[in-house]
Structure formats: C-alpha cells, structure tokens
Amino acid sequence: MIILDVQGFSKAFFVHHLQRHIPAFNEVDFRLHAGEFLLVRGVNGVGKSTLLRCLYRSYLPTAGQAIYHAHAGLIDLACAADVDIAALRRTEIGHVTQFLRARPRVSAIDVVTEPLLNQGQTRAQARQIAAEWLTAFGLKEDIWDAYPTTFSGGEQQKVNLVRALIVPRRLLLLDEPTASLDANARAALVTRLAQIKAQGVAMIGVFHHPEDVRDLVDGELHLTNTQVDYVAN
C-alpha cells in the first residue's frame, strides 16, 4: 500500500532583506509504502531537515507534489488546506524533531499525555500509557511531574520522543531523533521504531548515526547540492 508519492518536490527560501534565494533541495522524487523506512542522507545544510519540514508543512514547499494517501483519501501535502494539514498532524502524520520545544509550566507528563487527551482518552488512561513509554525510554519517575524546561538535553529529547510516538501514526518524519540520547535510550527508540514499522507505519528519517537503524532501512535518499539520488536497498 502506497503511503506517499513525492514528485518534483523542491524548496528554496527567499530572504527579503538580503533579496536572496537560498535553495534547499530540488526535484526530489520518491515513493513510500506502508511499513517502509526511508533514510535521508547528505552533508550538513543540504536540506534534509527542510525536506521533512516541507512534508510536515512547517515550511511551504516551492514546487512539486507530495501525494499522501490518507485514510479519507488522497491529498497533496504541498498545497492542502491548512486545516487539513492540522487534522493530519493530529491523527496520521508525526514529526520528531531534534529538540523539545518546552513550554513554561507544562510538566513532562502533561507534555506527553496531551496527544492522548486530544484524542479523547481519559486522564487516567493517558497517564498509564505515558508511564509505560517514559519507563521504556528510561526517564526517571521523580521528574515526570517537573517542567522539562529544567531538564538535561537527553531528558528533554526523551520527552519529545514519547510525545511524538505515543499516538499511532501512519507516517512518521524523524529528524535526528537520537542526537542527544544515551545508548540505552537509543536502543529503546530503535526497538520501538521496529515495532511500529512492523505495524505498518511508514517512516522517513535523518540519523546522525545511521548504523543505529541499519536493520530498519528499506531505501535511501541521497541529497546533494546538485542532484538527488534515490537508491532502493
């Protein structure tokens, strides 16, 4: 089952005060099926994060299409209405960034249960599910009710990951999710990713240490400053 069909996908920024175009990536084509894992590679600044953000629509792509096969039908992520994108983010598409955007006075447990509460789960159910996840990632229980603004980088990243992965998704965009994690948490993450991949979740990931996810990768997308190569494993 196809999840995503990307063609001619391009992004350039235009910075008005410099009157300058900053090209990020150009004419990207690939196809992703349910349960597939696409690894995105390329040097710093080549546009890997920008590609994921354009698919999540934190950035507006400049050209091309990204036909996403939603539960309710086909939709082009490049030009879908904002409210449709917002709906997909709540239910089907997840984006795991490198850093948590901690909000003042929101506890770790509230950060990670929020997606469950938004889905209509009770507080007690949500807390129980969250507890399992936080334990799996090795976040110590004493700090679950504390504010992540005070956490170490690795602790924040664990909260970030749990928040992003706690509700089931059909498509996950992973931007260096292991960057600040210790070995145990990295292993826990890879185990979780393998589980959800087996459940049919499609993933596009950028990994600083690709060897972490070697066994999960089905295809690779090499971004270069001049061209894009898609290689199926």
Partner 1 sequence: MMTRPGLDHPRLVREVPLLQARGLCRRYGAITAIDGVDVSVYRGEVLGIVGESGSGKSTVLRLLNLEEPADAGTYYLDLPGYADQNLFTMDRYYRRQIQIRHIGIVYQNPYLGLRMRHTSSGNVAERLIMAGERNFATLRQAARGALSASEFPLERMDDLPIRLSGGMQQRVQLARALALRPMLLLLDEPTTGLDVSVQALVLDTLARIQRELQIATVIVSHDLGVIRALADRVMVMRHGRVIEHGLTDQILEDPQEAYTQQLVYAKL
Ligand X SMILES: Nc1ncnc2c1ncn2[C@@H]1O[C@H](COP(=O)(O)OP(=O)(O)OP(=O)(O)O)[C@@H](O)[C@H]1O
Interface residue list for ligand X (CB under 6 A): 13, 22, 24, 42, 44-50
For partner 1, the binding residue among 7, 8, 12, 131 (CB under 8 A) is 12
Q: Per-residue DSSP letters for the chain? A: -EEEEEEEEEEEEEEGGGTEEEEEEEEEEEEEETT-EEEEE--TTSSHHHHHHHHHTSS--SEEEEEEEETTEEEETTT--HHHHHHHHHHTEEEE-SS--PPTT--HHHHHHHHHHHTT--HHHHHHHHHHHHHHTT--GGGTTS-GGGS-HHHHHHHHHHHHHSS--SEEEEESTTTT--HHHHHHHHHHHHHHHHTT-EEEEE-SSGGGGGGG-SEEEEE-SS-EEEEE-
Nearer to partner 1, 17 or 211 (CB): 17
For partner 1, the binding residue among 4, 26, 38, 62 (CB under 8 A) is 62
Q: Which stretch binds partner 1 (CB under 8 A): 11-19, 167-175, 200-208, 219-227?
A: 11-19
Q: Within positions 16 to 75, which residues make up the interface with Mg ion, using CB under 5 A?
A: 49
Q: Which stretch binds partner 1 (CB under 8 A): 54-62, 128-136, 162-170, 172-180?
A: 54-62
For partner 1, the binding residue among 20, 27, 45, 86 (CB under 8 A) is 86
59 binding partner 1? (CB under 8 A): yes
Nearer to ligand X, 45 or 153 (CB): 45
Point out which residues pair with 102 in neighbouring strands. Answer: none
State the nearest-atom distance from the C-beta of 229 to partner 1, in Å. Answer: 26
Query: What residues line the site for partner 1 (CB under 8 A)?
Result: 12-17, 21, 53, 57-60, 62, 70, 72-73, 75-76, 79-88, 103-106, 117-118
Query: What residues line the site for Mg ion (CB under 5 A)?
Result: 49
